Structure 1
């Protein structure tokens, strides 16, 4: 065997060894078929192990969970071309390109956009005047509230799925942006040297959108996803829609080679904690948002398993049965969190 072959074999062995913890957890989590909701929750916990990212997701999807108020972190460049501004509750993610900025979510109001988003973007070297697109991941006010301010001040175009433009129009909430660009499923948006692919992932709302896009860390390219809405809807049919979105998006992630996980609510995925790890240097020379391909898929598997538990719970208690005389909306979330 040549030296090159030996080195290749050793790399293959190490790669296989690195996957053993995942394989072991998946095997342990599937030794017996789930019988009830708690079986699914227990299985998700075993898949999560001691991973703080996955444990945060389990907590976020546990029935009755709520996000406790936290202090807003300072803004941070989490990648060479990605900056995050957060209120503690919700985050806006700025993707920097050679021809301007694509902003995913815009905080909760014009005041937050003016007093938090704009100055904090500037503080990490992002010029808000270069925002070309504001993408509302879904149609809740904490995600689109500052969009019209940015459109009026900087001429940014506002993007949302058709279903969630309709959701916003039906509710006529304060601070709603004027209807602008619609995001279709699988649509690609290219700005300068960067292309973002949008996938419809209905569940949290009828038209939740989750993007996949390239990020750079210390000059090396990675592929990120941002899950557009975490909290599941109330009715069982909506949870089934959510589950279908999880399965479809996991497949899209696999094909795209996603190895970075992001969320617009940093408490749902230990995102705020990872920001502090990166800021303090406690993560070493690595980036805690780079989770790798296997762990990114495990993230989706935990989400899938928790959703199956939520559906099983509904089936047992029948609390999500639509009222007589008409079917309930299958994909509306009753609280605008996560």
Structure 2
């Protein structure tokens, strides 16, 4: 990401007010205005909300179309809810003067404005950093894009798959015996959202030091560049892949894969090349017990995500359905507690 201080400006005509919040979380009292679609921008807002910020989403009249994207639970897209649960919503048509004025008013009372509009759209709307900093010099103005300026001053609209391809992930994420292809998991969208959230946090910290806002920006391509990769594409041995059993799939742990001879002896195969065929004769649980007893820890491959909520191993990481959210979802990955003075 990049974080650049806002130009020095006369005193703001509108003063931001901090909302009440959960004081146990570090961003309590911080207000974020989010005008973003799909994954990258909403993911950043989701992380900031979990850290205690109040997040207000700006959606078009009638709501974000992504709300209807299958699968749907409780009348709303599960994917949409996963990224936007707990945010408040203000509807505004940004193609109209009134809608743009709504965003200006919201930003004037916020600490952060976050968007992933198409390149150049901010200036076309009159909602660029210069315009909003003139009204609110302490605003952290955060923007996310596909390619940043890597492909020129007016880059094409970037999507997750294009960023994976251009950033080399389409090859790095596939073994050498498979053709390069982007991951079906939107790797750069998710990582890009995390990177943008970190840029906002850095911007908020910088604001406290210099008492003025800043521009924070990141891109899907910059997120792709963060993914470590070997100089050569990975060559997978047969035991490196998930192996079919009588009732599912089993994945050998790193220690087990480094000792193929012991794995073969443990499962009763004549050699490492025959391990895969031998595993088909018994259930996953039966083989896991044998392998663990031999000091070769392995795991079952999950193919039904709904089962995670009932797995004791995930009890602290997955929240069960409740009256407010009718589906299981990840818990916040951190906790914050105040230390009692000695």
What is the TM-score when the length of structure 1 is the normalising length? Answer: 0.27
More strand by share: 1
User: Larger RCO: Structure 1 or Structure 2 (Cα < 8 Å, ≥ 6 residues apart)?
Assistant: 1
TM-score, normalization by structure 2: 0.27
